[in-house]
Structure 1
């Protein structure tokens, strides 16, 4: 199955904790943080990713393969991404705490993309 079709299928079949977290992450766009969901990267489908801040957020259910998660985390870390993992119970019982943790990491991370436009030429902007 093509990558885009698989990502679309995964977006439509999000678990309730993923859907709940997605609602909160979408609201962060007003603060300048853009998240993608079920984003294909390095052969994996990431639950949520903010490419500008190189932050991956994974929601771990009961049947997660920890060895596969370690391999994926190593691949993404080598490309400069940080992964935060939350279990379903944390999202269900402590969504505010989860959001605070995510915001703390986002605010501490420097954007990876330059600001729009080119810097002023020498002598300009003074």
Structure 2
């Protein structure tokens, strides 16, 4: 009987789990929306690992990272280094203040939706004729 190769243990997993468990109120609130249509189809993940970083929310499919920041992040040089790394790896980074999520969720969701859909080709107008529906 062949032995299966042992899975490599990712040492980031316990930290990601702790970050999910200890989510801020803003993270919890936004997560409820990202799990529902129309965002559900983009498979956002909470505390997704990208390199050595943990993104608050990331869609690897859409190459979008969403970061929620409290006041301690104002002018943070380390946040800029992190953003540069993520952008160098092909991700678009959206940053929102926690109070924006808590007080202006519709504006936050509109911004995310606009960015998510920016890469989609426009629907032809008028729609092309249906196959076999000769007129």
Q: What TM-score do you get using the length of structure 2 for normalisation?
A: 0.76
Correspondence 1:82 to 2:92? yes
**Between structures 1 and 2, the one with greater helix share:** 1
Decide whether aligned partners of structure 1 residues 29 and 9 sit closer, same or farther in structure 2, where only a CA change above 3 A counts: farther
Decide whether aligned partners of structure 1 residues 45 and 30 sit closer, same or farther in structure 2, where only a CA change above 3 A counts: closer
**Over aligned residue pairs, what C-alpha RMSD do you find?**
1.7
* Greater radius of gyration (CA): 2
SS in 1 for 2:43: coil
Point out where structure 1 has 5 or more consecutive residues left out of the alignment: 111-126
Say which of 47, 64, 80 aligns to 1:55.
64
Moved more, 14-23 or 27-36: 27-36
Correspondence 1:46 to 2:38? no
Which consecutive segments of 4 or more residues in structure 1 shift more than 4 A? none
Q: What TM-score do you get using the length of structure 1 for normalisation?
A: 0.81
Cα deviations by residue, 1:81-114 (Å, 9 ceiling, x for unpaired):
110000011001110110011001101125xxxx
Point out where structure 2 has 5 or more consecutive residues left out of the alignment: 1-9, 121-135
Where in structure 2 are the equivalents of 1:1-126 lying within 5 Å?
Answer: 2-28=11-37, 32-64=41-73, 66-110=76-120
